Structure 1
Amino acid sequence: MERTTELSSAEEGVSKVLERGRLLQEEASSLTTRWTRDADVLSQQAVALLSDITSLKAEINNASEKDEITQPVAQKLEEELYKLQKMMYDGDTASLLPSKANGYFLRMLLGSVNVRATRKDGRYKVKEEYNAYRDRTAVMFLTFPVILLILKNQVWNGCFPALPVQIYQSWLLFFYTSLALRENILRVNGSDIRPWWVYHHYCAMLMALVSLTWGIQGHPSCTRKQQGVRLFLGWAVMQGVAMLLQNRYQRQRLYTRIALGKAGRMDVVWGETAGVKGQLWVLYPLLFILQGFQFFIGLLLLRTAVLEVSFEWQVVACGLLLIIMAVGNFVNTVATLVAKAKIKAKMKKKGKQMLHRMTSKKVS
């Protein structure tokens, strides 16, 4: 009798738990339905608001050109609209805006999984991890080739063994692949990374992969065989120094722009996308030297392929990739300088117009 009572009590407990679970599932399903419906409504409102902001910017610009409103008023209105737009992209509203589709690179590595963070703190975490990764790897980018060059002269009698160089090339493949992956995720989450820098990392990934199959031993003259490797390591040292300087200058500049409301919290800097006054005289000459050196190494490898009786196909592939990356970097650097010059000229023109109007009012 006692056993029967225990069984009926257990059955009653299981029945109650099952009922609670069913009710909880129904409530959760109802909540999800309501959230989806409300999110769709808010998403339509957010898209419409962005469209209105774009229309208002064009209207303000036309009114300013026709002198229907003064330049200070137009500038103030544009700044207010810019702050509103940044607030939408940086705040919780960003999760309601249409997201960029995963590119081919993300689909190839991750499939069609959604990599967009729904909360703003999650997006900021992705960006901060990216910046921290850049800082860590910049030190490694500089240290690794320096160690190889020192060991070449002190331990290896002027000739690189194949294994240490292949380890470095494997690290480069991992480095550029992880950078490209992180940058694609950042772009999906609203960052303003220029497409060229992602393409640049694709080229660098391909070059690292090709160089892994390039035998650097077996030639009667070790110095002649490994000339391209030595030059590339020398360029890598210079690139590491430039990366450290860029990270320092650009991080400070980005924080300042965010504080002034001229950049969003999800914006990042890479390459020549930002700078301070001293950077123009320190970093840009170094960057142009690096690009010229990179172009020279590419030409040297192609020249070797033409002059040598027997050569590896990797020589031609690496030479072409280096030239493509050097030209692309140069074009983007020049484009950045031109954009900065246009902004300065526009500000100078606005200043002259304001001064002319103030002078005219005083005369009248």
Structure 2
Amino acid sequence: MSKGSASVLEASRQTLEPPSYTLLSHAHKFDPCNNIRLYVYVNLVLGNVSVTLLTLLSKQSKKEMNEKFKLCLTVLLLLFSFVCYFFVSYRFVNAILNFLLVWYYCTFSVQESSLISNGSRIKGWWVFHQYVSAFLSGVRLTWPDGYLYQSFRNQFLAFSLYQSIVHCMQYYYQSGCLYRLRTPGERHKMYLTVEGFQSWMWRGLTFLLPFLFFGHFWQLYNGLSLFRMDRLQDCKAGVSMCAISFLILFMGNFLTTVAVVHTKFSSKDQEKPKGQ
């Protein structure tokens, strides 16, 4: 075979190679080892397995599956909260709801950690939020039945119902907002929908802010209510842990949302002189 034929065959082989091979050189950018905290957490749950996806198509497919699964589980939580609040008062049914909440936050803390290692843009408080919520749900699951549990039951179920409704609203409108931003290339294709408010949501999603702030202050109310229960003599340790968790969630959610709003207003004020 001549050198010319060999070079033509080599060029054809490189042209026909699958896209995944051409992206191998970029895989290190999304290696979980680049973020020790995420790497350790994912490996504690999944074991010593590789969670790095090599092709952009596989990353987007994984992200879309995660979003759809999150929506289905959120709707399931909404239905369970509705049934428990209005129709059923059995302890084991409430335990199923709390177990679903534990599963929800643990599952998505793992999945989102995997997606972050593959380039998804979610970080900061909204990652830590998943861990605190998983801990809170776990304490709620092990809270024994009694006077204190029943006193806080309806308040928590109403909050869970409201939170699930807001999450569904966020998913629906965030998905549409992300689609509009990805099309002209204003946002990365691996951005995720989250339970809070981020800077990219400013355009077209500011109407969600009152619902979010109401939910934040409901978390504060839950924490203060539990601290009042904690003063009783027969109070269990789980009550104070739930109270602290709710207050942490309130402070993190509220301060993060306020910071985003403040940053957006500041950037708008700086842009006004340029436009005039």
What range is the shorter-chain TM-score in? Answer: 0.7 to 0.9
Residue 124 (structure 2) aligns with: 195
Q: Deviation of residue 343 (structure 1)? A: 3.0
Q: Deviation of residue 165 (structure 1)? A: 0.9
Question: Whole-Å Cα distance in 2 between the matches of residues 277 and 98 of structure 1?
Answer: 29
Would the aligned equivalents of 2:67 and 2:193 in 1 still touch at CA under 8 Å? no
* TM-score for the superposition, normalised by structure 1: 0.65
| Matching of residue 344 in structure 1 with residue 268 in structure 2 | yes
Question: Whole-Å Cα distance in 2 between the matches of residues 98 and 151 of structure 1?
Answer: 47
**Cα gap change, 1:145 to 1:344, in 2 (>3 Å):** same
* TM-score for the superposition, normalised by structure 2: 0.84
| Matching of residue 256 in structure 1 with residue 180 in structure 2 | yes
| Matching of residue 165 in structure 1 with residue 82 in structure 2 | no
Alignment map for 1:1-364 (pairs within 5 Å): 94-95=26-27, 97=29, 99-101=31-33, 102-152=38-88, 160-217=89-146, 219=147, 225-270=149-194, 271-273=196-198, 274-275=200-201, 277-280=203-206, 282-306=207-231, 308-352=232-276
Name the structure, 1 or 2, with higher relative contact order (CA <8 Å, separation 6+): 2
Q: The residue matched to 2:87 in structure 1 has which SS?
A: helix
**Cα gap change, 1:246 to 1:161, in 2 (>3 Å):** same
Would the aligned equivalents of 2:77 and 2:100 in 1 still touch at CA under 8 Å? no
Larger Rg: 1
Deviation track 1:251-282 (CA, whole Å, cap 9, x = no partner) reads 111111111211111112312124255532x3
Question: Whole-Å Cα distance in 2 between the matches of residues 98 and 316 of structure 1?
Answer: 39
Question: Whole-Å Cα distance in 1 between the matches of residues 180 and 135 of structure 2?
Answer: 36
Alignment root-mean-square deviation, CA: 2.3
Would the aligned equivalents of 1:92 and 1:120 in 2 still touch at CA under 8 Å? no
Would the aligned equivalents of 2:30 and 2:117 in 1 still touch at CA under 8 Å? no
Q: The residue matched to 2:265 in structure 1 has which SS?
A: helix
Q: Structure 2, unaligned stretches of length 5 or more?
A: 1-16
Q: Deviation of residue 240 (structure 1)? A: 1.1
Question: Whole-Å Cα distance in 1 between the matches of residues 28 and 110 of structure 2?
Answer: 24
Residue 7 (structure 2) aligns with: none
Q: Deviation of residue 230 (structure 1)? A: 1.1
- Equivalenced residue count is 252
Would the aligned equivalents of 1:254 and 1:263 in 2 still touch at CA under 8 Å? yes
Q: The residue matched to 2:157 in structure 1 has which SS?
A: helix
Residue 19 (structure 1) aligns with: none
Give percent identity, aligned residues only: 25
Question: Whole-Å Cα distance in 1 between the matches of residues 112 and 249 of structure 2?
Answer: 18
Deviation track 1:199-254 (CA, whole Å, cap 9, x = no partner) reads 1111111111112221123x4xxxx6412121111111111111111111111111
